[in-house]
Amino acid sequence: MSGSVKDRFLVTGCARLQGAVKVSGAKNSVLKLMAAALLAEGTTTLTNCPEILDVPLMQRVLEGLGCTVVIEGGVVRITTPAELKSDADFDAVRQFRASVCVLGPLTARCGRAVVALPGGDAIGNRPLDMHQSGLERLGATTRISHGAVVAEVETLRGARISLDFPSVGATENILTAAVLAEGRTVLDNAAREPEIADLCEMLNSMGARIDGAGTSTITIDGVEKLEPTEHEVMGDRIVAGTWAYAAAMTRGDITVGGISPRHLHLALEKLKVAGADVETYENGFRVRMNRRPTAVDYQTLPFPGFPTDLQPMAIGISSIADGMSVITENVFESRFRFVDEMQRLGAHATVDGHHVVLHGIEQLSSTDVWSSDIRAGAGLVLAALVAEGVTTVHDVHHIDRGYPNFVENLQALGATIERVAE
Ligand code: UD1
């Protein structure tokens, strides 16, 4: 988790990664679980938490609301008071997108929430309309005021809600409000991401009554009160997927533990089509590759589709594949900024609307590149591993937000990579 905003990585190309790596808890789960701890007075304990920058950022948000948060390695203990503050700290919230997940719990606990419009990755316009309309269906009024979303309600009441798109964040905020609403909420076209199921499992262990998590229709019977709990954060499927693509791109052999391969089914299937040998186990998988990958097309879609967070890795492998690939981004509009950096590394890529067409070449060539978000940053490091020469990856603070011990893990797998201060 160490490192400053100015750090960069020097990555030596033509590596072959080999060995075993274990992923820790999912970034996209732990932050929501930390926010869910707001729902119960007392101490909630989360284990298997990743050591990434977003966890202390969320600690700051929760402390600003009146909680005490202790982080000890992979364990986070959150003590929530009877009376919470309803205004989330403006500066802390603006630093990362996931902070918006305090909106549902605060509305449920305080009848009022003020949460600054979040910052975060530069991957496109990320409105909150479905978060707002979901809370409104439960009886709240919402508005945007002075750069913050404000929700207010006397009594939350269960309702039938249909999302226009299975938004992960909107599903989470609706769930964490509905658990304490009067009566039954039925949420249609809900997100089916494994992180939603993880959140529901924790909420149910706190005393919530949620049915259908992991499917498109989730039913929530509101309860009066929730109790604190202890919960193990699910493994990070995006970090695991990053290692899988690293193995295939470097013609390596990596065994990844701490993750259910069911959470990465399509991403691993695509690697098989590209020519990799993939073995799956109960709690992990192994990817081996001994030749140049074959070109494969990708379309990002909500789970169980190909994850948008692995789109940079799909572009990376396609850039060195034998043949032409078309990668279609269906979730975030501006996620192709990464392609400019890949072109600097020599990739033959053309962007056309929400498609990028890649003609694979034998080898990329090193230069200076800049990370624009967490996944693009990790994608650039993978590309640098297969580029001839030493590539400098700048703005690696983005990577630190999502990949625990990234450099150490890569070194253990045989990569030559070092972190240097700017
Ligand atoms: C979460 C993940 C992110 C992942 C994404 C999709 C976290 C912290 N981040 O982001 O890593 O890439 O899911 O799997 O968990 N949208 C609206 N209105 C809304 C809400 C969303 O138009 O009210 C749009 C977004 O702009 C985007 C799409 O819906 O185009 C999907 O967004 P969503 O599923 O909400 O993603 P996040 O929860 O922000």
Number of structural domains found in the chain:
2
105 C-beta neighbours (distance < 10 Å), count? 28
**Claim to verify: residue 61 and residue 205 sit in the same structural domain:** yes
**Claim to verify: residue 208 and residue 263 sit in the same structural domain:** no
- Going from the Cα of 170 to the center of ligand 1, the distance in angstroms, rounded, reads 8
- Which of 232, 258, 279 finishes a domain? 232
**Claim to verify: residue 284 and residue 382 sit in the same structural domain:** yes
Digit-coded pLDDT (tens) for 75-113: 999 999 999 998 887 787 877 778 899 999 999 999 999
**Claim to verify: residue 255 and residue 218 sit in the same structural domain:** no
Under-70 pLDDT residues of the chain: 1-5, 118-125, 422
Digit-coded pLDDT (tens) for 255-300: 999 999 999 999 999 999 999 999 999 999 999 999 999 999 999 9
Q: How high does pLDDT run on average in the chain?
A: 94
Active-site residue (options: 87, 121, 236, 395): 121
- Which of 181, 202, 232 finishes a domain? 232
**Claim to verify: residue 16 and residue 132 sit in the same structural domain:** no
Our mutation pick for probing the ligand 1 site, out of 126, 162, 174, counting the most ligand atoms within 8 A of Cβ, is 126
**Claim to verify: residue 168 and residue 210 sit in the same structural domain:** yes
Q: Is the CB of 168 under 6 A from ligand 1?
A: yes
Our mutation pick for probing the ligand 1 site, out of 331, 334, 372, 373, counting the most ligand atoms within 8 A of Cβ, is 331
Digit-coded pLDDT (tens) for 22-56: 999 999 999 999 999 999 999 999 999 999 989 99
- Going from the Cα of 96 to the center of ligand 1, the distance in angstroms, rounded, reads 13
Our mutation pick for probing the ligand 1 site, out of 95, 142, 165, counting the most ligand atoms within 8 A of Cβ, is 165
User: Computed from CA positions of residues 379, 382, 387, 391, in that sequence, does the dihedral angle turn out positive or negative?
Assistant: positive
The ligand 1 atom nearest the CA atom of 238: 11
- Going from the Cα of 167 to the center of ligand 1, the distance in angstroms, rounded, reads 5
**Claim to verify: residue 127 and residue 170 sit in the same structural domain:** yes
**Claim to verify: residue 228 and residue 241 sit in the same structural domain:** no
Annotated binding site: 27-28, 97, 309, 331
- Which of 232, 267, 298 finishes a domain? 232
**Claim to verify: residue 218 and residue 287 sit in the same structural domain:** no
Q: Is the CB of 165 under 6 A from ligand 1?
A: yes
Annotated binding site for UDP-N-acetyl-alpha-D-glucosamine: 97, 309, 331
pLDDT of residue 124: 56
Residue 1 lies in a domain: no
Concerning whether 368 is annotated as a catalytic residue, the answer is no
pLDDT of residue 127: 85
Q: Sheet harboring 112-116: ordered strands across?
A: 112-116, 148-152, 141-145
Q: Is the CB of 264 under 6 A from ligand 1?
A: no
Residue 3 lies in a domain: no
pLDDT of residue 98: 83
Task: Give dist(CA 167, CA 107) in Å, integer.
Answer: 19
Q: Is the CB of 169 under 6 A from ligand 1?
A: yes
Q: Is the CB of 127 under 6 A from ligand 1?
A: yes
Residue 19 lies in a domain: yes
**Claim to verify: residue 190 and residue 271 sit in the same structural domain:** no
- Going from the Cα of 128 to the center of ligand 1, the distance in angstroms, rounded, reads 9
Q: Is the CB of 402 under 6 A from ligand 1?
A: no
The ligand 1 atom nearest the CA atom of 331: 30
pLDDT of residue 283: 96
Secondary structure of the chain as H, E, C letters: CCCCCCCEEEEECCCCCEEEEECCECHHHHHHHHHHHHHCCEEEEEECCCCCCHHHHHHHHHHHCCCEEEEECCEEEEEECCCCCCECCHHHHHCCHHHHHHHHHHHHHHCEEEEECCCCCCCCCCCCHHHHHHHHHCCCEEEEECCEEEEECCCCECCEEECCCCCHHHHHHHHHHHCCCECEEEEECCCCCHHHHHHHHHHHHCCCEEECCCCCCEEEECCCCCCCCEEECCECHHHHHHHHHHHHHCCCEEEEECCCHHHHHHHHHHHHHHCCEEEEECCEEEEECCCCCECCCEEECCCCCECHHHHHHHHHHHHCCECEEEEECCCCCCCCHHHHHHHHCCCEEEEECCEEEEECCCCEECCEEECCCHHHHHHHHHHHHCEECEEEEECCHHHHCCCCCHHHHHHHCCCCEEEECC
| Residue owning the nearest CA to atom 32 of ligand 1 | 167
**Claim to verify: residue 112 and residue 65 sit in the same structural domain:** yes
pLDDT of residue 97: 79
The ligand 1 atom nearest the CA atom of 374: 11
Residue 252 lies in a domain: yes
Residue 91 lies in a domain: yes
Domain coverage including residue 38: 27-232
| CATH number of the structural domain spanning residue 53 | 3.65.10.10
**Claim to verify: residue 404 and residue 264 sit in the same structural domain:** yes
pTM of the model: 0.96
